[in-house]
RNA sequence: GGGGAGAUACCAAAGUGGCCAACUGGGGCAGACUGUAACUCUGCUGGCGCACGCCUUCGUAGGUUCGAAUCCUGCUCUCCCCA
């Protein structure tokens, strides 16, 4: 039997968790989470991690195994997951991976180029320059140092320019020269299952879930990390809005409203990302029998 | 009952004779995205062809004018103050 990675993806709130657990149980295997925020042990309620009960049913990996104070990125995820898969495939022929972080999923399925880790000092210096002199000066610098990236990058997006500059300056070689975009060969098959619902239905689920999170103590969870709000890991829907509230800028109700809206926006961005991927087989999350049947037909 | 203010596209809100299919923000829709990515960024948003263009809009019915969201009149509704 061939070894297969069954990837269950879709926007936030679509119903990945329940389905993945059912599939993993049916196949008698384990689950790898591909969610860039559920990975942080401090963020439970706001990232909708599986319940203790659910975690009991199937062994999950990459949930709560990092701290918000750690540095982490998609490349690290790629290597850690590949290592883990190497182990898991000694026991299982199929492993389920589920989550909504498109770049993390791509890193595992296709790989991403090797880039150096950026020196914090350099990063801060460039950020300072950006704040002092604006994007235009970053553009000029990039055009000089790496004309190719200048051509290719979204010049209206400061984060993307910053990234290119960081790599170029740190290594002395243009950022563009690192981007070979190889689709790395994986020693296992990949089967992508995409989940989709009617837009209204999805948005309704998101709204209900946010209310549930608040009921479950999201506000208190966020308050614990108010002091750390500058951390990137906390630049996350469900937390950043509450930080605004704690700062007295908006009411609690307004914050909750914004969490719902920003979750919808996030879901839309996820859909845009996944829509490009021609390898995805789309299903309604409640068509579980169809999905199971499809998976079984593919792994035999 | 008297006085005042106002009715603009999904919402909020500019515009007060031609440069207005109508600023701006929100929402919505579409999209980009190879590294802190639940980030960051872009476009569209009256209809039709979607480039030029054409058609129907600014409570409603009339009127003035070459020309009105913008001026005048009636009507309807909303809000505020006095009774």
C-alpha distances in angstroms, A199 versus A100, A127, A298?
A: 17, 38, 29
Q: pLDDT per residue over A103-158, tens digit each?
A: 999 999 999 999 998 999 999 999 999 999 989 999 999 999 999 999 999 999 99
Mean pLDDT of chain A: 95
Q: pLDDT per residue over A22-78, tens digit each?
A: 999 999 999 999 999 999 999 999 999 999 999 999 999 999 999 999 999 999 999
Residues A171, A203 share a domain? no
Instruction: Give the nucleotide with minimal C1' distance to the Cα of A178.
Output: B34
Which residue has the closest alpha carbon to B40 C1'?
A159
Domain final residue, candidates A134, A149, A179: A179
Task: Using the predicted structure, report yes or no on whether residue A5 has a pLDDT greater than 90.
Answer: yes
Residues A138, A152 share a domain? yes
Which positions of strand B lie within 7 Å of protein CB atoms? Answer: 26-42
CA→C1' distance for A247 and B81 (Å): 39
Residues A286, A139 share a domain? no
Instruction: Give the nucleotide with minimal C1' distance to the Cα of A43.
Output: B38
Instruction: Give the nucleotide with minimal C1' distance to the Cα of A118.
Output: B35
How confident is the model at residue A19, as a pLDDT? 97
Cα separation, A214 vs A172, in Å, equals: 48
Q: Complex ipTM above 0.85?
A: yes
Residues A149, A250 share a domain? no
CA→C1' distance for A157 and B33 (Å): 10
Residues A264, A129 share a domain? no
CA→C1' distance for A137 and B19 (Å): 35
Q: pLDDT per residue over A9-34, tens digit each?
A: 999 999 999 999 999 999 999 999 99
CA angle (A235 as vertex; A273, A149 as ends), nearest 5: 55
pLDDT average, residue stretch A79-87: 97
Confidence of residue A300 (pLDDT cuts 50, 70, 90): confident
Q: Give the count of domains, chain A.
A: 2
Give the domain CATH number at A256. 3.40.50.300
Residues A70, A108 share a domain? yes
Instruction: Give the nucleotide with minimal C1' distance to the Cα of A271.
Output: B31
Residues A264, A225 share a domain? yes
Which stretches within chain A are classed as H helix?
A: 16-27, 52-57, 74-88, 102-109, 120-133, 135-145, 147-152, 158-171, 199-215, 218-224, 240-246, 252-275, 288-299
CA→C1' distance for A106 and B33 (Å): 12
Q: pLDDT per residue over A154-198, tens digit each?
A: 999 999 999 999 999 999 999 999 998 778 999 999 999 999 999
Q: pLDDT per residue over A196-232, tens digit each?
A: 999 999 999 999 999 999 999 999 999 999 999 999 9
CA→C1' distance for A35 and B38 (Å): 9
Q: Which domain holds residue A134?
A: 120-179
Confidence of residue A265 (pLDDT cuts 50, 70, 90): very high
CB-count burial class (<10 Å; 0-12, 13-18, 19+) for A7:
buried
Instruction: Give the nucleotide with minimal C1' distance to the Cα of A162.
Output: B40
Using the Cα atoms of residue A276, residue A280, residue A283 and residue A285 in order, give the sign of their dihedral.
Answer: negative
What is the CA A23 to chain-centroid distance, rounded?
21
How confident is the model at residue A2, as a pLDDT? 82
Domain final residue, candidates A162, A179, A196: A179
CA→C1' distance for A154 and B21 (Å): 31
Confidence of residue A1 (pLDDT cuts 50, 70, 90): low
How confident is the model at residue A290, as a pLDDT? 97
Residues A138, A98 share a domain? no
Domain final residue, candidates A179, A196, A220: A179
């Amino acid at each position: 039997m061939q070894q297969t990675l069954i990837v269950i993806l879709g926007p936030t709130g679509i119903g990945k968790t329940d389905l993945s657990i059912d599939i993993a149980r049916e196949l008698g295997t384990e689950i790898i989470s591909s969610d860039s925020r559920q990975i942080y042990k401090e963020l439970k309620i706001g990232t909708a991690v599986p319940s203790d009960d659910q975690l009991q049913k199937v062994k999950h990996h990459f949930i709560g195994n990092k701290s918000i104070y750690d540095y982490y990125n998609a490349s690290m995820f790629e290597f850690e997951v590949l290592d883990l898969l190497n182990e898991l495939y000694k026991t299982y022929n199929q492993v389920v991976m589920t989550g909504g972080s498109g770049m993390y999923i791509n890193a595992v399925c296709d790989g991403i180029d090797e880039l150096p880790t950026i020196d914090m000092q350099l990063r801060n210096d460039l950020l300072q320059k950006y704040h002092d002199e604006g994007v235009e000066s970053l553009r000029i610098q990039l055009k000089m140092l790496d004309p190719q990236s200048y051509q290719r990058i979204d010049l209206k997006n400061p984060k993307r320019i910053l990234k290119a500059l960081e790599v170029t300056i740190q290594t002395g070689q243009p950022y563009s020269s690192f981007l070979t975009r190889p689709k790395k060969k994986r020693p296992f098959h990949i089967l992508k299952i995409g989940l989709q619902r009617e837009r209204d239905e999805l948005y309704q689920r998101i709204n209900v879930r946010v209310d549930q999170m608040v009921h479950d103590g999201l506000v208190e969870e966020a308050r614990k990390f108010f002091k750390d709000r500058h951390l990137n890991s906390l630049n996350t829907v469900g937390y950043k809005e509450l930080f605004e509230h704690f700062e007295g800028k908006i009411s609690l109700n307004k914050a909750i409203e914004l969490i719902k809206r920003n979750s919808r926006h996030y879901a839309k961005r996820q859909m845009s990302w996944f829509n490009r991927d021609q390898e995805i087989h789309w299903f309604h999350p409640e068509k579980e029998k169809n999905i199971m049947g499809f998976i079984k037909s593919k792994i035999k």
